Structure 1
Amino acid sequence: MASAGHHRDLIAYATLMAIFVAGANAIDIFLEWNVTVDTTIKPVSLDQPVITINGMLPGPLINATTNDFVHVNVFNNMDEPLLFTWNGIEQRKNSWQDGVSGTNCPIQPGRNWTYVFQTKDQVGSFFYFPSINFHKAAGGFGPIRVNNRKVIAVPFPKPEAEFDLLIGDWFYDSYKSIRSEMAIKLMAFQGIPDIILMNGKGPYGHQIARAHESFNVTRGKTYRFRISNVGTALSLNFRIQNHRMVLIETEGSYTNRITLDSLDVHVGQSYSVLVTADQNEATYYIVAAPKLLNNTAFPGLVGVGLLCYSDSTTQITGPLTSGPDPFDLDFSVSQAKSIRWNMTTGAARPNPQGTFNVKNVTLSQNFILQSSEAEIMGVPRYVVNNVSYYTVDPPLKLADHFLNGSGVYQLDQFPVKSVNAEAAYGVSVVTGNHRGWIELVFKNSLDAMNSWHFDGYGFYVVGFGYGEWAPELRKTYNLLDPVVRSTVQVYPGGWTAVYSYLDNPGMWNLRSQLLKHWYLGQELYVRVHDDDSNRAKEQRPHDNLLRCGIVEADSLPPASAPSSSPRRTGQDID
């Protein structure tokens, strides 16, 4: 007769096998995108080029489940090279598919290329966008959902429906003319956008908006809004008239549920909120208003949509719903600090998020990164530690693989803890210690909000502050339940600190999410490498790898051939 312990072992084994099989049931999703510049899709009543995908702005939803494989065959029908990046999708062990200038050769006009990536160990709300040539200012963005596997409980009741809502600023000028203007006018170009769009549509009631966004709801039902700021420059305060929002998720992390009247969404960030239609049958304003701008001086620069109850027959009238003072940074910082990780729920894995905490980690690296602006040889640039990134050909990842980095970049020449005396260009590539904990301190010397994103990783947001950062300020960090996300805001004259565990080998982009800042050099690359050639460490490039520049030569080894690695050094902790 079998023992009770034996039965327990069998039950445990069966449970583990069920989880394994559920993970193994990942599917392949095949998408075909035709990307073009369209002049018939008009967010506003102006003739301007708009980048569309399959004739759509925003582009099609990528709707996946944890561990699915996504294949996106991109046909470039534009007159310029093109790349897409997947904002917040970690590309586990596969920076070959990251879609930025340091990892991929661009898709040339008239050509196509297929991205293949896995939503490995992720859930949540994300988005994609074109990453080079200032293309994001013309569209090309769209939503990504990564849903829970059935074996992982979602920590809130199933909503009646889910809505993707991409909010962001928009220029009236074409992206090509803005690129030229930045180069000609030096720092005189302020880059203040002209209008706020919701899902590619102009504000309700705006004189040149061709359409507005609206959502239909039924009284008594609850809805999930997945909100992403896909803009180029402006942080936005989001609110719905007479309705409160329950925050539940940000960029793949379930949060403690907090009830909000409004939510600050900074450039590049994504959130999920639950909204219950608990008001009278009517129509209500949905508002996205800029931070750090005088709404009186820029009255048209407010995004407006509508929440429409199904049985409402009345037209909406009256003033827009008000929000916090756009210059009240204390409100914004206080809200940011209140967004905490839900330590008791599962997410992509069955064990609680709180299993992965930072209370007792040992830091192996510390980067202090100061954002500012400068002129280099009379050219306007944005800089990190007084270095402005200079894009090279071929991409760094290809140079690393085929050429040992030789002749393309020098590892660890970027100052990770100090500011250069004079501003200069640099091909900024630094070592990230594989399987080490890194502390990134983002400092903002500008008078505008900034936000920073780390491809390939989520990071724990442990601290915000004003003024200078110093090591003793670590005592103020939240190490108990800091939220994990991939994009974080940095307040004017302030600093933000994050921790990240560098377990994802590859060449990863660390950048400002403000498009002008990124385009003009506010980025660097973190090379996380393990000398072990075991494919479990890092994937080899796919057979369809695009080559360009000096790695097009026939004499080079095939893409799957191993290569040696550049020297690597670590930076010590203060």
Structure 2
Amino acid sequence: MMAWIKVLVMVACLFPALVECRVRHYKFNVVMRNTTRLCSTKPIVTVNGRFPGPTVYAREDDTVLVKVVNHVKHNISIHWHGIRQLRTGWADGPAYITQCPIQPGQSFVYNFTITGQRGTLLWHAHILWLRATVYGAIVILPKLGVPYPFPTPNREVVVVLGEWWKSDVEAVINEATKSGLAPNVSDAHTINGHPGPISNCLSQGGFNLPVEPGKTYLLRIINAALNEELFFKIAGHQLTVVEVDATYVKPFKSDTILIAPGQTTNALLTADLGTGRYMVAASPFVDSPVPVDNMTATATLDYSGTLSTTTTRLTTPPPKNATPVATTFTNSLRSLNSNQFPAKVPLTVDHNLLFTIGLGVNPCSTCVNGSRLVGDINNVTFVMPKISLLQAHFFKISNVFTDDFPGNPIIAYNYTGTQPTNLRTMKGTRLYRLAYNSTVQLVLQDTGMIAPENHPIHLHGFNFFVVGRGLGNFNPKTDPMNFNLVDPVERNTVGVPSGGWTAIRFKADNPGVWFMHCHLEVHTTWGLKMAFVVDNGEGPNETLLPPPRDLPKC
């Protein structure tokens, strides 16, 4: 009898609306699976044979244990994108940053507690280009008895946006690395794993969202695409945005949502049109001269009782270069900043940093043009180490990294003007060191190196406040006068506008080594990444925990 009770409780703990469980167990089997998309069948790497992968459900303050077993030929690691990992950096997931990857036939248990967070996040592979198919949602519900700060929806729906390649994505990036050129763009975008009917594959179906008239739905929208920001739109309907990156925002209405890779947006949809079938669309946003997948992924929203012969009401996605639409959405985001959910913006700054974000060209004797495209921050192209940086930091292993990453550009120039004649970058595994509880203001400055571009920058281990944003070169004398230090939006991934800058602030209250990189996977591959090392504070509650016994070895 007791055995049956234990089984029932473990099953219920996977669905946090049923019972209050402090520990939630999941098992991720990383396996190959044949799947059909765009009228072609190919094997892909999946978790538990599902694409997208399973949703991880938990409540605020729960401990989550996920045993990942690697059954494929590739090394694997899983990143719990947006989970703060307080003192548990070993569970963060980026390969060679906080752990060595899980080798074929091996396993690792990710063990972390969700502290002070609720909302929608995502998990994904954090090695090679495997996150093209290895991804899924994280749904963190409030504590039992704690309501949402917005009207309770009748139903919640996870909507994961992605990209799809007909060919093997590892072959795509390997060929690009060999040639030194940019990789091929994807063949389609997807909504919950489906592109919807497209011209060269009319038999391919799409995701369907059934709704009932008068009811309200909370859409948990995630951009898991590798390389593209996306617009999301539903024909004939307004969406009320209530949360981004698992932090509540002041609600506002919009017919179009902008969401960059790694970002999440929760929006309320009221089924107020009574009847009919309506197109759901995900289309690319890019306002710079770079190649992009122009395919629009589609799904349908169906009111109950709608006849199968009913014509779908179409919607016109914004043009791919619709900067005003993107800017209007971005500028509408404000932290809720209520008594229960205050915006704790650092008002003093210990580290005032300026990081230039861009691309460069380095010599390559084996590449097509004798050169290779690279990414850089402050002209440093990051070199991945052979063992994890967190291990090197914790065990004080020398010659793995240096802590001399430049806090400002080594050579100042007109960042958004005429590009310099020298496009070469420096290479190194250089980190920037922060004392525990120190405060940071970081201005991320796009550059015209090769081409200006909107870079979604993700910081591991922390949330940050987006206090300012503008076009052109950041002016340290005048621009801070317009910073929002009252209710700026709080995020873990932020877009640096094409030909402009974004200013963020955060407190370094989480000891460990924390990756920061562009969430366009092509740019991360090219070296547009760096890491912060945060020293321990005082006492055990401000000290990095020791590594788990089953931590993978390199």
Q: TM-score, normalised by structure 2?
A: 0.88
Query: CA distance change for structure 1 residues 541 and 533 in 2, over 3 Å: closer, same or farther?
Result: farther
1:27 corresponds to? 22
1:441 corresponds to? 443
1:368 corresponds to? 354
2:129 corresponds to? 134
Aligned counterpart in structure 2 of residue 229 of structure 1, from 223, 233, 241? 223
Instruction: Please give the per-residue CA displacement for 1:517-545, whole angstroms capped at 9, x wherever unaligned.
Output: 11221111101112546255322222222
1:173 aligns with 2:164: no
1:561 corresponds to? none
Structure 2 stretches lacking a partner, 5+ long: 1-19, 365-371, 412-421
1:353 aligns with 2:341: yes
1:106 corresponds to? 101
1:198 corresponds to? 191
Q: How does 1:425-504 map to 2 (within 5 A)?
A: 425-445=427-447, 446-472=451-477, 473-504=479-510
Q: How does 1:516-535 map to 2 (within 5 A)?
A: 516-530=522-536, 532=538, 534-535=540-541
Aligned counterpart in structure 2 of residue 418 of structure 1, from 382, 406, 409? 409
Structure-2 separation of matches of 1:252 and 1:96: 22
Query: CA distance change for structure 1 residues 61 and 318 in 2, over 3 Å: closer, same or farther?
Result: closer
1:54 aligns with 2:57: no
Give the match's secondary structure for 1:48: strand
Instruction: Please give the per-residue CA displacement for 1:237-291, whole angstroms capped at 9, x wherever unaligned.
Output: 1110001100011112111110111111111110000001111311100011111
Query: CA distance change for structure 1 residues 151 and 365 in 2, over 3 Å: closer, same or farther?
Result: farther
1:397 corresponds to? 390
Structure-2 separation of matches of 1:298 and 1:355: 36
Instruction: Please give the per-residue CA displacement for 1:384-419, whole angstroms capped at 9, x wherever unaligned.
Output: 1111111111111111112x141211112x212014
Structure-2 separation of matches of 1:47 and 1:184: 26
Q: Report the alpha carbon displacement of residue 314 of structure 1 after superposing the two structures with TM.
A: 4.2
Structure-2 separation of matches of 1:433 and 1:242: 51
Which residue type is aligned with residue 437 of structure 1? T
Structure-1 separation of matches of 2:70 and 2:506: 35
Give the match's secondary structure for 2:41: coil
Percent identical residues: 26
Q: In the alignment, is the contact (CA less than 8 A) between 1:196 and 1:301 conserved in 2? A: yes
Give the match's secondary structure for 2:356: strand
Query: CA distance change for structure 1 residues 281 and 467 in 2, over 3 Å: closer, same or farther?
Result: same
1:217 aligns with 2:189: no
Which residue type is aligned with residue 384 of structure 1? I
1:377 aligns with 2:363: yes
1:81 corresponds to? 75
Query: CA distance change for structure 1 residues 66 and 531 in 2, over 3 Å: closer, same or farther?
Result: closer
Q: Report the alpha carbon displacement of residue 372 of structure 1 after superposing the two structures with TM.
A: 1.5
1:36 corresponds to? 31
Which residue type is aligned with residue 201 of structure 1? H
Structure 1 stretches lacking a partner, 5+ long: 1-24, 345-350, 549-574
1:150 aligns with 2:144: yes
1:19 corresponds to? none
2:247 corresponds to? 253
Q: Report the alpha carbon displacement of residue 205 of structure 1 after superposing the two structures with TM.
A: 4.6
1:341 corresponds to? 335
Instruction: Please give the per-residue CA displacement for 1:175-197, whole angstroms capped at 9, x wherever unaligned.
Output: 1211222113323x254322110
Query: CA distance change for structure 1 residues 355 and 425 in 2, over 3 Å: closer, same or farther?
Result: closer
Aligned residue pair count: 509
Instruction: Please give the per-residue CA displacement for 1:294-319, whole angstroms capped at 9, x wherever unaligned.
Output: 9xx98960010010111100445467
Give the match's secondary structure for 2:124: strand
Q: In the alignment, is the contact (CA less than 8 A) between 1:383 and 1:423 conserved in 2? A: yes
Structure-2 separation of matches of 1:242 and 1:281: 12
Structure-1 separation of matches of 2:543 and 2:199: 53
Structure-1 separation of matches of 2:515 and 2:108: 21
Q: Report the alpha carbon displacement of residue 154 of structure 1 after superposing the two structures with TM.
A: 1.2
